[in-house]
């Protein structure tokens, strides 16, 4: 299996690049943000709880997120692999992912970290907020999400660094150029 963690701050292009990677490698896309947004849309109990947290730019509890991931892994354990987008976001989630993959005799192949300067992130997200109305794409919540990334999520990169599985990729430029950089990394690690 090819199991890729696509990592980076809000607006770094994880979702955009994930769709291109899936097309080329046939992987199962697991975006915890998308899964949570479908719960919000369906107004499930979990969705109602999650909405308030997401609108403040904070993180939903590890327990909820890990439960969603385990379910997805079980459903697709005979496939070609996974792309994790926006997960793990805490070291606890990284440890739980390791356990869940070990349970199916698998491991993370590589964590690809998209690097984009903060002013570019804010610009992209403000633009998307205006175009799509995504409720956490307003200036106040965008800054909060970036702060949460720097304090709670960045340690995940060091967790994989220790296992020599952390690979930064420049996330500025055309979507296709960035994709080419990502493919080089995947080919190297797979």
Q: Which residue, 2 or 53, is less far from ligand AP5 as judged by CB?
A: 53
Active site residue 89: yes
Residue with the shortest CB distance to Mg ion: 15
Q: Which residues lie below 8 Å from residue 177, measured CB to CB, with a gap of 6+?
A: none
Cβ proximity to ligand AP5, 48 vs 105, nearer residue = 48
**Residue 79, phi then psi, degrees to nearest 5:** -90, -175
Residue that the structure tokens 């896309």 belong to: 29
Report if residue 129 touches Mg ion, rule: CB under 5 A: no
Partnered with residue 5 across adjacent β-strands are 84, 111
Q: Given the complex with ligand AP5, which of 32 and 113 has the nearer CB atom? A: 32
Q: How far is it, in rounded angstroms, from Cα 128 to Cα 133?
A: 7
User: For this structure, is 128 an active site residue?
Assistant: yes
Give the residues lining the site for ligand AP5 (CB under 6 A): 8, 10-16, 32-33, 36, 53-54, 57-60, 65, 86-87, 89, 93, 124, 128, 136, 145, 175, 178
Which residues face 2 on adjacent strands?
A: 81
Name the residue whose CB lies closest to ligand AP5. 33
> For the window 2-21, what string marks contact with Mg ion as x by the rule CB under 5 A?
------------xx------
Q: How far is CA 45 from CA 27, 39, 42, 49, 166, in A?
A: 30, 8, 9, 6, 36
Catalytic residues: 14, 89, 128, 134, 145
């Amino acid at each position: 299996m090819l199991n890729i963690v696509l990592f980076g701050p809000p607006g770094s292009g994880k979702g955009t690049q994930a769709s291109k990677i899936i097309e080329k490698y046939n992987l199962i896309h697991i975006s915890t943000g998308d899964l949570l947004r479908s719960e919000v849309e369906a107004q499930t109990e979990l969705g109602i709880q999650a909405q308030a947290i997401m609108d403040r730019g904070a993180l939903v509890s590890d327990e909820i997120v890990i439960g969603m991931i385990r379910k997805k892994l079980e459903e697709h354990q005979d496939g070609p692999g996974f792309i994790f987008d926006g997960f793990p976001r805490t070291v606890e989630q990284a440890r739980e992912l390791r356990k869940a993959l070990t349970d199916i005799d698998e491991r993370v192949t590589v964590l690809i970290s998209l690097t984009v300067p903060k002013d570019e992130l804010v610009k992209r997200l403000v633009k998307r907020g205006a175009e799509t109305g995504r409720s956490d794409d307003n200036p106040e919540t965008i800054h909060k999400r970036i702060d949460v990334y720097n304090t709670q999520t960045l340690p995940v990169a060091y967790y994989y660094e220790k296992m020599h599985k952390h690979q930064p990729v420049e996330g500025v430029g055309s979507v296709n150029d960035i994709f080419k950089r990502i493919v080089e990394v995947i080919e190297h690690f797979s």
